[in-house]
Structure 1
Amino acid sequence: MKKALLASAVSMALAGVAHADEHSGTYAFDTKGTHQFITFRISHLGYSWLYGRFNDFDGQLVYDAENPENSSVNVTIDTGSVDSNHAERDKHLRSEDFLYVDEFPQATFKSKRVVVDGEGDADIIGDLTLRGVTREVTLNAEMVGHGADPWGGYRMGFEAETELRLEDFGIPMDLGKVSETVEMIISVEGIRQ
């Protein structure tokens, strides 16, 4: 009887580990299905919000279900893909006044550590390199969900937010006091590899 109980307890423990591990792994961003977005907003004179996005970016996340603090994320953004729904403004955003894409065609984020709060949220701390300047930033992240998809794969989605000061990244354009920071929202769906 004791052997049966012990065997049952061991098999339940192993099942729990397998369940925890079922969504661990490396996830490539879904660039083909474009189930990913990097959007931003910045105040325009304090009267309205100007919204935009980066249309082209790629990356991967590594998720460790048993030890989420060991997870990581890396992102590469094509800064020339900035899109604010206005061609002339986008040309200005690509210029030396803002992103200076001729000199700095890519921005990158590389995580250094993950701090989990126990509620399914986490702070992802890492280095953002933008316009040739590297600064540590914190992404406030939340797992949206994970599971099997209809095509035989396994997916996981996260959303994260952060706020950046323009001058911290060497952006020389002075937009006024109310427009010193830009809010970023990153929404990513990854496919397990």
Structure 2
Amino acid sequence: MKLKHLFASLLITLAFAMPVQAAENYAIDIKGQHAFIEFKIKHLGYSWLLGSFRTFDGNFTYDEKKPEQDKVSVTIETASLDTNHAERNKHLRSADFFDVEHFPTATFVSTSYEPTGKDTGILHGTLNLHGVSKNIVIQVKQIGAGPDPWGGYRRGFEGRTTLHLSDYNMKKAAMLGPVAENVELFLSIEGIRQ
């Protein structure tokens, strides 16, 4: 009888000692350059102008059982904007557009996540850009997850959204014409589990 009580006590102790499955925390892989924030905007309606932000950092959580609780936080250095053309970069960083001297960072913080399928969902959050905070929606798709060759564990997503320049009080946006009002944003994010 004592053995039975001892065994029961041991099981209860082990149950409380075992970790509870919770959200996993991931740091965006900036050092390995496995994350990208890219954009495209129409140039006078004749072609696409492509660019990216080279310097940013952030993290996200992932809970397979409760994906609606997933969270994302990203900070972007606006001066890292690069369109592969030095003079254009200088103009876009100026007070006419991003005004990086007064607004050196842009931030995105998620507010909610809605799963729409096994690996897809809609991420809601607040983007603070050029001193303006706006709620935006990002269409998200999980690309994959698993161990890496260095003993870590990784998870990757892509996201797409469209921003409107007039929402962010950029003084000279109108000079680009109505076709340049919409900026298509593409995110490729790979995180390393912490």
Distance 1:110 1:128 in 2: 7
Give the SS at the match of 1:92: helix
Summarize the alignment of residues 49-88 of structure 1 with structure 2, pairs less than 5 Å apart: 49-88=48-87
Distance 2:35 2:119 in 1: 20
> Which residue of structure 2 aligns with residue 178 of structure 1?
179
Summarize the alignment of residues 83-102 of structure 1 with structure 2, pairs less than 5 Å apart: 83-102=82-101
CA deviations on 1:44-83 (whole Å, 9 max, x unpaired) are 0111000000000000010111010000100000000000
Residue identity opposite 1:98 in structure 2:
F
Q: Which moved more, 1:153-162 or 1:165-174?
A: 165-174
> Which residue of structure 2 aligns with residue 25 of structure 1?
24
Give the SS at the match of 2:171: coil
Matched, 1:48 2:47: yes
Q: CA deviation at 1:172?
A: 1.6
Give the SS at the match of 1:90: helix
Q: CA deviation at 1:150?
A: 0.2
Residue identity opposite 2:183 in structure 1:
V
CA deviations on 1:132-179 (whole Å, 9 max, x unpaired) are 000000010000000000000000000000000001011121110111
CA deviations on 1:97-126 (whole Å, 9 max, x unpaired) are 110000000000000000111242111000
Distance 1:156 1:115 in 2: 18
Q: CA deviation at 1:184?
A: 0.3
CA deviations on 1:3-34 (whole Å, 9 max, x unpaired) are xxxxxxxxxxxxxxx9xx59x40000001101
Residue identity opposite 2:98 in structure 1:
L
Distance 2:116 2:85 in 1: 40
Listed as ranges, the gaps of 5+ residues in structure 1 are 1-17
Summarize the alignment of residues 129-144 of structure 1 with structure 2, pairs less than 5 Å apart: 129-144=128-143
Matched, 1:126 2:130: no
Among all aligned residue pairs of Structure 1 and Structure 2, give the percentage whose two residues are the same amino acid: 50
> Which residue of structure 1 aligns with residue 192 of structure 2?
191
> Which residue of structure 2 aligns with residue 160 of structure 1?
159
**TM-score, normalising length from structure 2?**
0.87
User: Highest Rg: 1 or 2?
Assistant: 2
Aligned-residue Cα RMSD (Å) equals 1.3
Q: Report how many aligned residue pairs link the two structures.
A: 173
Distance 1:139 1:58 in 2: 18
Distance 1:99 1:120 in 2: 34
Distance 1:145 1:58 in 2: 20
